Amino acid sequence: MRIGFIGLGHMGGPMAANLLKAGHAVTAFDLSALEAAKTAGATLATLPRAAAEGAEVVITMLPAAAHVRAVYLNDDGVLAGVAKGVPLIDSSTIDPATARLIGEAACKQGNPFADAPVSGGVVGAQAGTLTFMVGADEALFETLRPVFSGMGKNMVRCGETGTGQIAKLCNSAITCFQASR
């Protein structure tokens, strides 16, 4: 499968590398962390739009909601380059409202969208053992399962768009509570 991957930091870099190991073709974009992706076998893109062009699935893993909005909605962003019908996955940890905003913009263009933040940290990203908390309809979730399995071991459908972020917030709160005991 041809995958556009945007955001190659501590989490995204290993996730993209695992997709390459699983046999997917990855076209990657990041503002700075490109060398490891190139070494792993990814094709490099000059803009988010270029990473999305020709992709069968696009994945983003970005630091904050502002970055997600920019990467999807700017003139050189994902929605400007992706073909109609191509599924979009955002694995960033962001607020549910931003996930819904991006999902609505994608839907208007004819692209299914899943918010799919992860649990497992950098070690899980490197080992390919992440847990995905997915906000998507059932059909999209099943369509994306093989992509998630290239990066993780557990995929949980939490409900519609935005609920992956809500589950991630709950998971983080529980983890913090347990750590404080």
Active-site residue list: 168
Length of the chain: 181
Q: Which residues contact 36 (CB under 8 A, 6 or more apart)?
A: 8, 13, 17
Q: Could you report the per-residue pLDDT of 113-168, keeping only the tens digit for each?
A: 999 999 999 999 999 999 999 999 999 999 999 999 999 999 999 999 999 999 99
pLDDT of residue 36: 86
- Which pLDDT tens digit goes with each residue over 66-81? 999 999 999 999 999 9
Q: How far apart are CA 172 and CA 170, in angstroms?
A: 5
Please answer whether residues 17 and 59 qualify as being in contact, where contact means their C-beta atoms are separated by less than 8 angstroms: no
Calculate mean pLDDT across residues 98-126.
97
At residue 146, the pLDDT reads: 96
Instruction: Please say if the pLDDT value at position 174 is more than 90.
Output: no
Residues 10-53: tens digit of each pLDDT: 999 999 999 999 999 999 999 887 888 888 899 999 999 999 99
Query: What pLDDT is attached to residue 35?
Result: 84
User: What CATH number belongs to 2-180?
Assistant: 3.40.50.720
What does pTM read for this prediction?
Answer: 0.95
pLDDT band at 175 (very low <50, low <70, confident <90, very high): confident
